[in-house]
Homo-oligomer: A and B are copies of this chain.
Amino acid sequence: MFDSRMAQKAAENLEKLKEKKPLVHNITNFVVMNYTANALLACGASPVMAHAQEEVEEMVSFAGALVLNIGTLTPYWIDSMLKAGKRANEAKIPIILDPVGSGATKLRTDSAKRLTDEIAISVVRGNASEVLSLAHEGSRTKGVDSIHSVDDAADAAVILAKELNTTLAITGAVDLITDGKIIYRVSNGHKLMGYVTGTGCTATVIIGAFLAVDSNPAEATTTALAYFGLAGEKAATHVDAPGSFQISLLDALYSIDKKQMEEGAKIQIQ
């Protein structure tokens, strides 16, 4: 039922992460900075948050991956993201974009599109409306309003991934990942994750960490989401309310070992 090679790769990526401890440079939102830094530490990576235009190019050059998140954007922060992103592109450092709220306001949609236009992004992670809002006018990608089923979303994502030449991850009860060729589905996770702010943003930084140790963006993303979802499942075995859950989730990220990862991953390839 679940893909055993991908389960094994999830375990291997987790082990590599704990060995290499890559620096992950985040230009992200104010709400989640503390929690995502703690999540990165818990999974073995080393976080740095830096957004000043005077230093982002220098800072990103030390990093194994760059995380861009527009959750509390202003134009200054978008310009910092572009500066860091261009340098990351030159240095072949992978970039993941979390287009928080793209589709909801013009500033967010325009900024997310500007980022995908002006820099090469390895992975975009968001919910269906955020991810599919990145389609250009006249694109073959159907708008979010016309998505009536999970299969519609998958079709739209495959087309958009090809257009943007990137890997897309639409997370939800079942996560859908595609690079325009292969579709991966991850069914790890727990509903309490929806009651903790920034779990989406946290999924994004964990993908960032996995990108630093796996040169295949779609597989890095899929295995990272299986790991994060499995941590949610483990956390929920101890607790049943969101305050305790957010703490147990960090504990689970820290304590999941290679064997648990390989046995627990629920990844399907279409």
- Interface residues of chain A, those whose CB is within 8 Å of chain B, are 29-35, 37-38, 41-42, 47-52, 54-55, 58-59, 62, 71-75, 101, 104-108, 194-198, 241-244, 246-252, 254-255
B247 close to A251 (CB less than 8 A): no
CB-based closest 4 A-B pairs? A243-B250, A241-B251, A37-B197, A55-B107
B105 close to A38 (CB less than 8 A): no
| CA of A34 to CA of B48, assembled, Å | 17
19 A-B residue pairings within 8 Å (CB atoms): A29-B49, A30-B49, A31-B34, A31-B37, A32-B34, A37-B197, A37-B198, A38-B242, A41-B196, A41-B242, A42-B243, A50-B101, A52-B107, A59-B105, A62-B104, A241-B251, A241-B252, A242-B250, A243-B251
Q: Which residue of B lies closest to A52 (CB)?
A: B74
Shortest Cβ distance from residue A199 to the other chain B in the assembled complex, whole angstroms: 10
Residues of B within 8 A of A101 (CB): 48, 50
B108 close to A55 (CB less than 8 A): yes
B59 close to A243 (CB less than 8 A): no
Residues of B within 8 A of A51 (CB): 72, 74
Shortest Cβ distance from residue A70 to the other chain B in the assembled complex, whole angstroms: 10
Shortest Cβ distance from residue A241 to the other chain B in the assembled complex, whole angstroms: 4
Shortest Cβ distance from residue A71 to the other chain B in the assembled complex, whole angstroms: 7
Q: Quick one: which of B37, B106, B243 contacts A249, CB cutoff 8 A? A: B243
| CA of A249 to CA of B246, assembled, Å | 13
| CA of A72 to CA of B75, assembled, Å | 17
Q: Which residue of B lies closest to A57 (CB)?
A: B105
